[in-house]
Amino acid sequence: MTKEKSNADLLISTILSGIEDVKGQQINILDLREIENTVCDYFIICEGTSNTQVNAIVNSIQKKVGKELKDKAWHVEGTDNAEWVLIDYVNVVVHVFQKHIREFYDIESLWGDAKTTVIETSY
């Protein structure tokens, strides 16, 4: 169990670093482990200001995780229109939104029982 936790922590910190490298905004981590019947342990949610930035965030995450952890996403979808891209690392699922799409779907309120950690950025 300890090894799994450290692997998840390492994956999360690598994903966060990938987001921050290209100035992803409004980063939240939702811990879903205490909620029954969830598809994963964590959601990481962030946003970009344009299709270009959303794709840059996605590419940065994938490159950093691939290089540092020798891991790749199990599934990625949404890159064609880059308004909401989902990157599935099985236990950690990353949602990269454009602001208006994030506000419309409001995932954070759908998972209101999850423990939420807001990541402060300095840019």
What domain range includes position 12?
2-119
Looking at residue 99, what is its pLDDT?
Answer: 97
pLDDT digits (tens, 9 = 90+) for 35-83: 999 999 999 999 999 999 999 999 999 999 999 999 999 999 999 999 9
Grouping H, G, I as helix, E, B as strand and the rest as coil, residue 17 is helix
Round to whole Å and give the CA distance between 15 and 117. 14
SS3 88: strand
Q: What percent of the chain has pLDDT over 70?
A: 96
Domains of the chain: total: 1
- Cα 67 from chain centroid (whole Å): 17
Q: How far apart are CA 31 and CA 75, in angstroms?
A: 20
pLDDT band at 123 (very low <50, low <70, confident <90, very high): confident
Q: Please give the Cα distance from 25 to 64 (Å, whole number).
A: 18
CATH code: domain of residue 40:
3.30.460.10
